[in-house]
Amino acid sequence: MFVLPPPPKYPTIATTGPILEPNNTLDPTTGPEHQLSVGEGTYIPRDTILLATPPPHPSETPPPNPNPLATTPHPPTSGTKLSLARLHSAPVPRPESPHSRTSTSTGDASNPSSAPPAGPAPIFGSGNPLLSPTPGATPVPASKRRKPKSNIVKSNSSFISRVTVHEGLAKRIAEAGAAGASGWAFANVNRALQWLDLGAPGRAKLDPLVKILFTRAHALCHDVNPVTRSAGHLDVAVGFSTGDLMWYEPVSGKYSRVNKNGVIHAAPVADVRWMPGSENLFLAAHVDGSLVVYDKEKEDAVFVPECADALTPARIVVRKSVGSKSQKTNPVAWWKVSAQRINAVAFAPDGRRVAVVSEDGCLKILDMHREV
């Protein structure tokens, strides 16, 4: 018995005419199949927006036909994620804030040293003088925060294919800032990243404020920093199928690349999260089971593991500790936590622990500060 592989997703022969780029569409949703009935009542969807899937770049090599009997998984080449960026919502407390919610640990009672310290954690890296901010430094206002280096609209990098900016972007930003930007959202769909205003009236919500098309890299995930977000500044971290990461500030239209061309680690990025309470650090979950902490303002350098690949009691390989004295370049820290792909990560409310879900069905809860 022979099993034929499915046909390729894209045609293998280039078309002679220009590739038409689809637009977002508004799909009318009526009927009980689109309703959600719960104990407090029935929720009826207001709008259903179908995000356009961009066509492949002309220079992009068509993916080979996948073998349905293959046991080796192929690296991810597509992904869709959506996140909201509300400005006037309740601020996220920093981990060291007394208003942070704490949780009790269920460590081994016979071994008190095995239990993590009670109470909220300090900001990640604050125990290392090379990472902690200058004592007594005043907080930087949003208008004076550091921006990325490169203009994404005028960029001549081969990493960026095309950028479309809404003609009334400045006006829309001013209006949304006054109203709290309750409808701002970011969405990555394959090789496109869109900045949307879902609070706009009518069909105006379909037109992206900014739409970025990348050449060959596919955006798999992104995250908005809740600490630095304001009407005049947004820090967005984006992870790609090539292992690249991008720090993007959409209000100014500036961007910087981190782990450029996978110089530090070339495995695709399955999930990315800003470290709790931090303005600069974010955590990237690579598909090979690595968790890597990057600093958006540090330069990249070829990484050489500083620690031996020895397993901790929690089965973590610490390839670079947050306490390392070598912090001039990225990465800030690197942990190998699984032999399988990491699907998602999430931080605990106390900012001390991170939950990691991997392809093998395991859920691991790690203490980032103790690296166990």
Q: What pLDDT, on a 0 to 100 scale, did the predictor assign at position 153?
A: 95
Residue 213 contacts by C-beta under 8 Å, 6 or more apart in sequence?
Answer: 54, 57, 160, 161, 162, 163, 164, 191, 192
Q: Is 87 contained in some domain?
A: yes
CA 229 to each of CA 32, 249, 346: distance values in angstroms, whole numbers, following the listed order: 38, 10, 19
Range of the domain at 179: 21-30+42-59+74-94+146-258
Return phi, psi of residue 274, to 5°: -70, 140
Give burial (CB, 10 Å; 0-12/13-18/19+) of 259: buried
CA 253 to each of CA 51, 66, 186: distance values in angstroms, whole numbers, following the listed order: 22, 38, 14
**Does 217 fall in a domain?**
yes
Is the residue at 141 inside a domain? no
- CA 17 centroid distance within chain: 35
The region, left, alpha or beta by phi > 0 then psi within -120 to 50, assigned to residue 126 is alpha
Q: What is the pTM of this model?
A: 0.83
> Quick one: pLDDT at residue 108?
44
> CB–CB of 33/44 below 8 Å?
no
Distance CA 200, CA 210 (A): 14
**CA separation for the pair 187, 250 (Å, rounded):** 13
Q: What is the DSSP letter of 179?
A: H
Question: What average pLDDT values come out for the chain (372 residues) when binned by 10 residues?
Answer: 48 52 84 88 88 87 72 72 77 46 40 52 84 63 83 95 94 75 86 92 91 95 94 94 97 97 96 96 96 97 77 74 92 94 94 94 93 88
Q: Work out the burial of residue 49: count CB atoms within 10 Å of its CB; fewer than 13 is exposed, 13-18 middle, 19 or more buried.
A: middle
In a domain, 188, yes or no: yes
| Three-state DSSP class for residue 354 | strand
* 84: in domain: yes
Q: What is the pLDDT of residue 347?
A: 97
The Cα 173–Cα 160 span in angstroms is 23
Whether 199 is covered by a domain: the verdict is yes
Q: Is residue 202 part of a domain?
A: yes
Q: Nearest 5°: phi and psi at 174?
A: -65, -45
Residue 100 lies in a domain: no
pLDDT of residue 69: 78
> What is the per-residue pLDDT for 253?
96
Query: CB–CB of 125/277 below 8 Å?
Result: no
Are 331 and 131 a contacting pair, CB within 8 Å?
Answer: no
Angle at alpha carbon of residue 99, lines to 94 and 101, rounded to 5°: 85
**pLDDT attached to residue 112:** 44
DSSP 147: -
pLDDT reported for residue 127: 86
Question: Considering its fold, how many domains does the chain have in total?
Answer: 1
DSSP string for residues in 294-323: EETTSEE------S---B-TTS-EEEE-TT
